[in-house]
């Protein structure tokens, strides 16, 4: 089956399982988190916040996405991301 190492695979399956059990299953939030974390690698917090405006109009929601991608960084004016979100979403969205 060529699956990823245990932790990313387990986390990805857990994420899918929570979506499948919803009344209206949709992976838009997972897709936006994947996009956000991917873009965070090359954008500052401010640039990322502005970039997400193409897809997310609510500034509070955009702020939340940026915080998730940049948390743990002392200088968020620099590009950088957390990798755990990418690992969690890699099963849902294809290879990282």
The alpha carbon of residue 74 and the mean position of all alpha carbons in its chain are separated, in whole angstroms, by 19
**pLDDT confidence of residue 46:** 96
Does some domain include residue 75?
yes
The pLDDT of residue 90: 46
Distance CA 44, CA 64 (A): 15
Measured between alpha carbons, how far is residue 78 from residues 16, 74, 88 in Å? Answer: 32, 9, 23
Range of the domain at 52: 6-19+27-93
Total domains present in the chain: 1
Summarize pLDDT for 2-40 with one digit per residue, the tens: 655 555 566 667 777 777 777 777 778 878 988 998 899
Q: What does the alpha-carbon distance between residue 48 and residue 65 come to, in Å, rounded to a whole number? A: 9
Whether 1 is covered by a domain: the verdict is no
Examine residue 40 and state whether it is found in any structural domain, yes or no: yes
Distance, in Å, from the CA atom of 52 to the CA atom of 38, rounded to the nearest integer, reads: 12
pLDDT, tens digit (0-9, with 9 covering 90-100), for 37-89: 889 989 999 999 999 999 999 999 999 999 988 887 778 888 876 655 454 44
């Amino acid at each position: 089956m060529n699956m990823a190492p245990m932790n990313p695979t387990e986390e990805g399956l857990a994420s899918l399982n929570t979506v499948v059990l919803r009344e209206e299953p949709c992976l838009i939030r997972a897709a936006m988190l994947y996009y956000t974390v991917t873009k965070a690698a090359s954008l500052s917090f401010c640039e990322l916040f502005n970039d997400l405006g193409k897809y997310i109009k609510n500034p509070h929601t955009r702020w939340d996405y940026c915080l998730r991608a940049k948390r743990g960084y002392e200088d968020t004016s620099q590009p950088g991301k957390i990798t755990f979100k990418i690992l969690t979403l890699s099963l849902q969205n294809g290879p990282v």
